[in-house]
Amino acid sequence: NTVISEYFEYATLSHRWGNGEPLLRDVEGKSIYDLSGRDGQAKLQKFCIFALRHHFQWAWSDTCCIEKDSSAELQEAIGSMFSWYHWSSLTIVHLSDVFDAGSLADSVWFTRGWTLQELLASHTVLFYTYDWSLYLKSDAVDHKTNPALLEELRDATGIAKEHLTNFRAGMDDARSKLHWASSRRTTRPEDIAYSLFGIFQVHLPIFYGESAQNALGRLLAEIISRSGDVSVLDW
């Protein structure tokens, strides 16, 4: 039923975390628009406004839609993060460090670990600059269908256009997928591995404090076990 599917469609936010990001406990039982409107709260409000402008009644942000105080909830959330973006009807990317004359590739967004799966998983993406202006001032409804912007994305990420527009999660071409992540960084060391779980469709336990080396070791062992591709050890 088209009416039902349209009602349950939602938009997702992809961004670089900054100051004052509201958590679940900060927004639970409250109106988003009653928050103070500073830093991360202002960003969340803008995201919700833009989601509504695109006719979505639901919006999802990784800042406040995950119960991070519960280890069980966090484990489930990390395991389903790729799916949240994959099944969204629109991902709104806010590049807070790209200004009027700036280039998309200059953003720190392209250096972060979690944003790789957000870019690949999302079918429809719109990039917004620091003041929430649509990048390139275009009237695009999906930047992934814009040839010029796809060129920019390819140059910024090293990912071929066919993967940017039609990415398939799993073990195929595992070494390339690891290479795409090789220059990216995460705030918590172990997240450099955890942020790839969705890309490879693996479900492994989350152990913050185990070290990045151990987390990557477990991920590589799983990839080799399932794909038989030992070349991933040289990514």
List the beta strands (DSSP E) in 84-189: 90-94, 125-128
Burial (0-12, 13-18, 19+ Cβ within 10 Å), 227? middle
Q: Tokens at residue 34, please?
A: 């009653």
Q: Answer yes or no: are the C-beta atoms of 93 and 11 closer than 8 Å.
A: no
Report the C-alpha gap between 92 and 221 in whole angstroms: 34
| pTM (predicted TM-score) | 0.93
pLDDT digits (tens, 9 = 90+) for 5-17: 778 999 999 999 9
CB atoms within 10 A of CB 113: 18
Over residues 145-197, the pLDDT tens digits come to: 999 999 999 999 999 999 999 999 999 999 999 999 999 999 999 999 999 99
